[in-house]
Amino acid sequence: MSQLLQDVVGELQKLPGIGRRTALRLAMHLLRMEPESVDEMTRSIDRFRHDIKHCSRCNNLSDSDICPICLDRERDQSTICVIEQVADLLSIEQTHQYRGTYHVLGGVISPMQGIAPSDLKIDLLCDRIAQGGIKEVILAISTSVEGETTLFYLMSRLRQFADLKVTTIARGIGFGDELEYVDELTITHALLNRRPLE
Amino acid sequence: MSQLLQDVVGELQKLPGIGRRTALRLAMHLLRMEPESVDEMTRSIDRFRHDIKHCSRCNNLSDSDICPICLDRERDQSTICVIEQVADLLSIEQTHQYRGTYHVLGGVISPMQGIAPSDLKIDLLCDRIAQGGIKEVILAISTSVEGETTLFYLMSRLRQFADLKVTTIARGIGFGDELEYVDELTITHALLNRRPLE
């Protein structure tokens, strides 16, 4: 096997979900691409890895010190939606329903994985609220055990801000879910939080 | 969304089987990788795309003009296994059962996709046999309609070499296949080519 091919297959396997076969298929695809197009791709990867920053306010990925969402005066800067990771921000943005700001924790508390509250951007969140002007914090954290732990920890930390409204996103049956296959905890939540028909 | 992130996600989506979500997941993984490790990966991609050659004898991918398999005097240079693509060569090599050489056609004849015999390395194969010293050509082509067409075309071209032994790999039930789910054509072939128990 060619050394160049062996190298590229080995390197592509560093990526998650890419095994030997897929790496090989990707390598063959690279050969069918224009060299300029491959150059563009590798350049964008290098630029991304070296130049990307974290917003010093909300910890979102950003090209500059403060991210465009935090700078956007059209958005409601008094509302913060707290999320685990940047991917969650993108999912929420795609709904076009939320016009507030975000705060990216960078994970959830997980004693198993050795992630303590101090490893997350919780102090940064508290500092941000302490500066004033924040009316509501929406906690949009996963419903996993780690997520719930993080939620309770956040609630205890946020209790210090007397006038702050703290909410969590609704738990319930997702659209398209069949009741038959939904777990008991979700059904319990959905029943307890039932709403009158409007 | 950060421009740098947007760029890298867009570029990664050029790869087959990688949609927006996967591209985003890969980008997030890149951030967790050491910058040097990412550099190594992009360098290996660039080197592969720009420096890889095709063996002038067998059309295998190669770092040099003639590939190591064609240069290897330990291998049986009188036997050629004709395959569609480099990935097939790697699959056969992994069995460690074949000690001859290869010939990579670069695809199969496909009028639908506009691939004519002249687009494949068939002339190169005939030239190679015409030079002498080849005793057997094994045709290891897919059993698709295009594969069968290519097989018949190759057989008609190889008929000019009087003393050449031309074989095809055996068709039959694969190991682990359940007879119940095997298609009729394969079962027919497997029955017709049945062998006495040894």
Domains of chain A by residue range: 3-51, 74-168
Give residue B159's pLDDT band: very low, low, confident or very high (50, 70, 90): very high
Give residue A191's pLDDT band: very low, low, confident or very high (50, 70, 90): confident
**Facing B38 at nearest CB: one of A5, A24, A46:** A46
Question: Which architecture, in CATH terms, is A3-51?
Answer: Orthogonal Bundle (1.10)
CA distance B150 to chain A (A): 21
CA distance A66 to chain B (A): 11
Residues 157-186 of A with CB under 8 A from B: none
* A12 vs A178 pLDDT, higher one: A12
Interface probe, candidates A49, A51, A63, chain B, greatest B C-beta count within 10 A: A49
Class of domain A74-168 as given by CATH: alpha beta
Whether A20 and chain B come into contact, CB under 8 Å, resolves to no
Q: Are B106 and B59 in contact (CB under 8 A)?
A: yes
| Reported ipTM | 0.79
At residue B1, the pLDDT reads 77
Distance, in Å, from the CA atom of A29 to the CA atom of B21, rounded to the nearest integer, reads 20
Give residue A23's pLDDT band: very low, low, confident or very high (50, 70, 90): very high
Within 8 A of A37 by CB-CB distance, chain B residues are 14
Give residue B188's pLDDT band: very low, low, confident or very high (50, 70, 90): confident
Whether residue A131 is predicted with pLDDT greater than 90 in this model: the reply is yes
The answer to whether B3-51 and B74-168 have equal CATH topology is: no
**Full-model pTM:** 0.77
Residues 25-84 of B with CB under 8 A from A: 25-31, 33, 35, 37-52, 60-63, 67
At residue A34, the pLDDT reads 94
Whether residue B196 is predicted with pLDDT greater than 80 in this model: the reply is no
Q: How many residues does chain B have?
A: 198
Within 8 A of A3 by CB-CB distance, chain B residues are 63
